[in-house]
Amino acid sequence: MGSNQTDMIQFYLLGFSEIRSLQILVFWTLTFVYVATVVGNGLIIALIFVSHPLRCPMYFFLSHLSACDILISTNVVPNTLKLLLHSGSLVSIQSCFTQLYFFGASAIIECCLLSIMSYDRYLAICDPLHYSSIMNLRLPYYLATWSWCMGFGVALITYFLLLTIDFCGPATIDHFFCDLPPLLKISCSDSSVIVIAVSLVAIVIGLLQFVFVVISYIFIFHSILRISTTVGRNKAFSTCSAHLSVVCAYYGSLIAINIVPSEDYSLNLKKVLSLLNTVVTPLFNPIIYSLRNKDIQEAIYRGIHQAKVSKNCW
């Protein structure tokens, strides 16, 4: 770190200063969403762990996706709630960089897991005869481990690059969490290396994996349309509709954030889109899978029934 950065030991996050009259409402709304996200995704993880019918690669990957969604929410929401209560808050440079690191890591992990899940659905629908031999007992563990290692490993690139630049003020970040663009905006060093590195990561990990998901679903839809019976087509589509909905929600919010210009007049829109991506989207996972997946629904019903039976026995 340079001398300027050493002197500036804290940033000031403005949060949602433009809506002070609504901050209490936003606070309780985000609190409800965060609790629902943690409970909903935690319930999915627990169901997959204890329910024998859910012990297959598709739900194994779903449990990791739920864990990643909990990580995303926990990294952003508690600090955002603090900002709302105090109408802004000071944050140390180290805490800011750490939050950015986990934000980047969780985004990469989510992209990897969504790609793996699309590959899993491709094998199940387009090549069902070889599904068991390809997606054997070891491969899901390797793929899940690869996703987490990619996330935490690649995110270190941005973290260490940030340690090399200086910040000379103003030390005010007009955002509700430590995101990279507003951080670079208050830097007085040449940040071109960071921009290039992040762009390469976004292309290699984000864009290429999105293309991989799109191509996988082109083959999946082609295979589904070749099924002769309506019942067969509906059954095949139901196995991937929930995942497709999660993919659309996640990548849709990412694309919307990146196509909005960075000028000051669109800053509030960027905040709203970032809120959707980091706070609301992680809640979609348990909602979509509980509403559109029969296996999850049946596991919930079995759990409720067993709880009632146990209660009656007491």
pLDDT, tens digit, for every residue of 175-216? 888 888 888 888 888 888 888 988 888 888 888 999 999 999
d(C-alpha 286, C-alpha 292), whole Å: 10
d(C-alpha 90, C-alpha 81), whole Å: 13
d(C-alpha 170, C-alpha 120), whole Å: 48
Q: Which residue has the higher pLDDT, 295 or 202?
A: 202
pLDDT exceeds 80 at position 263: no
pLDDT digits (tens, 9 = 90+) for 3-53: 444 455 788 888 777 676 778 888 899 999 999 999 999 999 998 888 877
Q: Which pLDDT band holds residue 99 (cuts at 50, 70, 90)?
A: very high
pLDDT value, residue 1 = 45
- Cα 171 from chain centroid? 28
Helix or strand holding residue 91 (H, E): strand 89-92
- Among the residue ranges 47-51, 75-79, 223-227, 264-268, the one predicted with the least confidence is 264-268
pLDDT exceeds 80 at position 307: no
pLDDT value, residue 68 = 95
Q: How far is CA 81 from each of CA 10, 23, 181, 193, rounded to the nearest angstrom?
A: 19, 9, 22, 33
Q: What is the pTM of this model?
A: 0.88
- Name the CATH code of domain 3-313 (choices 3.40.50.620, 3.40.50.2300, 2.40.10.10, 1.20.1070.10): 1.20.1070.10
d(C-alpha 289, C-alpha 134), whole Å: 25
Q: What is the mean pLDDT of residues 211-238?
A: 88
Q: Which residue has the higher pLDDT, 194 or 307?
A: 194
pLDDT value, residue 5 = 45
pLDDT value, residue 266 = 59
pLDDT value, residue 311 = 55
Of the candidates 249, 236, 234, the one whose C-alpha atom is nearest the C-alpha of residue 286 is 249
Q: Which pLDDT band holds residue 85 (cuts at 50, 70, 90)?
A: confident
pLDDT value, residue 119 = 94
- Among the residue ranges 123-137, 209-223, 237-251, the one predicted with the least confidence is 237-251
Q: Which pLDDT band holds residue 274 (cuts at 50, 70, 90)?
A: confident
List, in sequence order, the alpha helices (H) in the chain: 3-7, 23-50, 57-86, 93-126, 131-134, 139-162, 180-185, 192-201, 208-225, 230-259, 267-275, 281-292, 294-313
